[in-house]
Amino acid sequence: MQYRTLGKTGFKVSEVSLGTWQLGGKWGDPFSEKDALDTLEAAYDAGVNFFDTADIYQDGASEKAIGKFLKGKEDKVHVSTKIGRKLDPHVAEGYTKENIDKFVDECLTNMGVDSLDNVLLHCPPTAVYYNPEVWFELDNLKKAGKIQNYGVSVEKVEEAIKALSYNISTVEIIFNMFRLRPADLFLKLAKEQNVGILARVPLASGLLSGKYTADTKFGKNDHRSYNRDGSAFDKGETFSGVDYMTGVKATDELKERLGSDNLAQTALRWILMFDAVSTVIPGASNPQQIDRNVSAADAPALTHDQMLIVNDVYNKYIKNPVEYLW
């Protein structure tokens, strides 16, 4: 495992870390604390020292499992959690001082810690980026010692750029072979301001594993079944907003032209080719998936020609309409 500095946090974090949306069970499956703890330990044993979670993941069970896992490791690992999506409805007006304070206190309780390493607003409505009081309250929580750093998980590149107006330490953004636009400008701006980048949805909800076909079926409670049109939340969260059959065609071509029999590893390594990225956070629902993820840190760098192939496939299949929506 290799390590990079997470922007102005100063944390040295594993290039490949762990996102915990699926921790303890596949999307839509019942939560298993044992599977969650086994997965966290497997990641730690493989050199992973950064974990990304959210207060709504498994209705708080993800944070609680991470809290148990943390005991005795507090000085060896870093955890980032997200707040805001408990709001129902999830509207800008809900991002009040009282709610932000409440959410942070609940995260502290769930994980059994006195201070949170990093707190991200969880894909807030665009209007929140234009309400400085929200961000100033995060400054207050930082001064009070309840949080050490803060930032935001975004849907759109424009939101990420706007967030750089505030005293943020990190931005979590969808960046993968099907989402190239962040590299056009945002990564450069973030690097100039020493803001750490967490690359989320790195495998486009599994599409970029290269294992899915036209016949692949997903469970009815899996967002890859029910959110393809964005009826539950931003459709960019599901397959990175890519039409499923188009994504299958694109991944088949990537596998052939890149000569890769392990597209997941290649896709993760592609993200790490960008030095502005601090860490990539693929998910895992069981310990067996950890090895697949962390192998990317030691994989060979992509060649110039391979990078051009990724661009070509993106332009051919994905750019329109994905680039214009996010």
Give CA–CA dist 172/280, Å, rounded.
10
**pLDDT, position 218:** 93
Give CA–CA dist 267/265, Å, rounded.
5
Determine how β-strand 3-5 pairs with β-strand 12-14: antiparallel
Instruction: Provide mean pLDDT across the span 259-271.
Output: 95
Give CA–CA dist 186/222, Å, rounded.
31
Asked if pLDDT for residue 28 goes beyond 80, the answer is no
The DSSP line for 235-268 is GGGSGGG--HHHHHHHHHHHHHHHT-S-HHHHHH
Asked if pLDDT for residue 292 goes beyond 70, the answer is yes
- Report the alpha-carbon angle 57-63-166, nearest 5: 80
**pLDDT, position 25:** 72
**pLDDT, position 80:** 98
Q: pTM, whole model, 2 decimals? A: 0.95
Give CA–CA dist 204/195, Å, rounded.
23
Listed residue (5, 3, 43, 2) closest to 22, CA to CA: 43
Q: What is the pLDDT of residues 154-205, one digit of tens each?
A: 999 999 999 999 999 999 999 999 999 999 999 999 999 999 999 999 999 9
